[in-house]
Amino acid sequence: MTDKTEQIFNPIEEAIKKRNDFEQKNFKIRESYVEEKYSDLLVRKSKKEALKSVESKLGACDPDRINDLIKKNNDYLAMAKNSRIFLGLKIFEDKIAFFPRNIILIGATTGEGKTTVSTNIILSTIMQKGKILILTNEENTNDMLNRIVFLLNNWVYTDHNKITEEQRITCEKLYPILLQRIEIVDDFFNGVGGTTTTLEGIKSVCEALKVKADKYKIQYDVIILDYIQNVSSSTDNPSMDQWKVISNMGSYLDQFKNVYDAPIILLSQLKSSQDEDADFKDRIEKSKAIMNIATTAIELRIDRENLRSEFIIKKSRFKNSVGKKIPVGFKKGEFVEYTSEFANTVRINNDRRNHSKLISSPINNGGNTNVENN
């Protein structure tokens, strides 16, 4: 027979084991904290040293710096000259600077069309032969692709239960084609979450974009972040207030826009207001500071009954368009030119619909059924 020694539970040994395990974890936490603080210290030290060189550079007329500025200016003017058109509609051509070095902030209240404008920017970019990157923390990736497929086919994308087999097969065929022009990064793009809802996640994507552009020559022509209020936390500093998270993200993007050749579209939630003159900046939820880094700021308002939307320019550094209200039409999910013909068609259809409701009402079908005929 083989002797079997029963394992006897020893509470003292178990307690020592748990204490050692706890101390190891506590050490790793302290180590991570010290490393983070040390990294911050090195950055601050580097900036401090760099600031000391300001005096030597002032008035130096350094030829290398002059040549660098000339090159940057030539590149900048070339990008401005070859600018794409916002939403592909000529009415915006001289009103919105839709080229690199620009951050375009688009604000709307709940249900006023943030998803719609995002989808239309995607569509118009690929129709203008551009590549687009979408950082989404709200929309499902498949929904975004499906919206594009449906727009291309003049289908209305609303009720998932009514999607036909033909439409599903069309999505299947167009996905590989669209994904050559569109990259969608959602919050679980890295497999664990936080890619598009944390400060560090947004930074990691942007740093990866720089590497892709420099090393692999992969370049996106437009970047969309949909939307800023869902960037709510910091993994490095979990106690950071959300307004500060968004503010730090804005400061980072303000630097990033100068080294990556693509305009950046930021979609934002606005607080509702009945006052048309209410300050746009005060209505930006969570972080008013994001307005400071925007080169263009736009409020989107919709008039569903008349299939009309207004893009109201609140800020613009490069175009003489501040305060202008630019009307566009809305047809089967797509923004279109708001022509007199379009407006008349909508008016006629509304009149027909109202007339149909009127003649089908009880008072026009023998009177009120609750009142006896005399």
Token match 């497999």: residue? 191
Task: Give the integer Cα–Cα distance in Å for 157 and 202.
Answer: 29
Q: How far is CA 52 from CA 45, 57, 58, 314, in A?
A: 11, 10, 11, 39
- Predicted local distance difference test score (pLDDT) of residue 12: 87
State the first-to-last Cα distance of the chain, in angstroms, to the nearest integer: 110
User: What average pLDDT does the segment 299-320 reach?
Assistant: 91
Give the tens place of pLDDT for each residue, 42-90.
Answer: 888 888 888 888 877 888 888 998 999 999 999 999 999 999 999 999 9
Q: Read off the pLDDT of each residue in 115-120 and give the average, rounded to a whole number.
A: 94
Residue 49 or 109, more confident: 109
Taking 90 as the threshold, does the pLDDT of residue 206 lie above it? yes
Q: Look at 60 and 160; give whichever has higher pLDDT.
A: 160
How far is it, in rounded angstroms, from Cα 189 to Cα 114? 22
Instruction: Look at 28-32, 214-218, 227-231, 297-301 and tell me which has the smallest mean pLDDT.
Output: 28-32
CA 165/CA 161 separation, integer angstroms: 11
317 vs 82 pLDDT, higher one: 82
One CATH from 3.40.640.10, 3.30.70.920, 3.40.50.620, 3.40.50.300 for 64-356: 3.40.50.300
What six digits make up the tokens of 92?
A: 């915006």
Residues found in the chain: 374
Residue pair 99/263 in contact (Cβ under 8 Å)? The answer is yes
Distance CA 222, CA 100 (A): 8
Question: For 180-200, what is each residue's pLDDT tens digit?
Answer: 999 999 999 989 899 999 999
Q: What's the confidence (pLDDT) of residue 242?
A: 96
Judging by beta carbons within 10 Å of its beta carbon (0-12, 13-18, 19+), is residue 12 exposed, middle or buried?
exposed
pLDDT at 5: 54
User: Tokens 């009309």 map to which residue?
Assistant: 308
In the chain, domain spans: 64-356
Element holding 95 (H helix, E strand): none
The pLDDT of residue 319 is 63
CB 177 within 8 A of CB 360: no
CB atoms within 10 A of CB 354: 10
The pLDDT score that the predictor gives to residue 345 is 95
Task: Give the mean pLDDT of 152-177.
Answer: 94
Distance CA 234, CA 254 (A): 18
Residue 373 pLDDT > 60: no
Q: Give the model's pLDDT for residue 372.
A: 40
What local confidence, expressed as pLDDT, does residue 363 receive? 61
Q: Which of 57-71, 139-153, 208-222 has the lowest mean pLDDT?
A: 57-71
Q: Give the CA angle between residues 165, 166, 172 to the nearest 5°.
A: 90
Q: What is the pTM of this model?
A: 0.86
pLDDT digit string, tens, across residues 330-366? 998 899 999 999 999 999 999 998 888 888 876 655 5
For residue 227, cis peptide bond before it (omega within 30 degrees of 0): yes
The first and second tokens of residue 372, run together, are 């006896």
* Lookup result for tokens 């989808």: 119
What does the pLDDT read at residue 6?
60
Longest CA span, the chain: 110
Q: What is the pLDDT of residues 33-44, one digit of tens each?
A: 888 788 888 888
Distances (CA, A) of 147 to 162, 163, 306: 14, 12, 22
Report the mean per-residue pLDDT for the chain. Answer: 90
Q: Is the pLDDT at 374 greater than 50, yes or no?
A: no
Cα–Cα distances (Å) from 320 to 40, 93, 263, 297, 317, in that order, read 42, 12, 19, 13, 8
Give the C-alpha separation, 251 to 293, whole Å. Answer: 7
Pairing of strands 103-108, 296-303: parallel
State the residue for tokens 């692999």.
Answer: 216
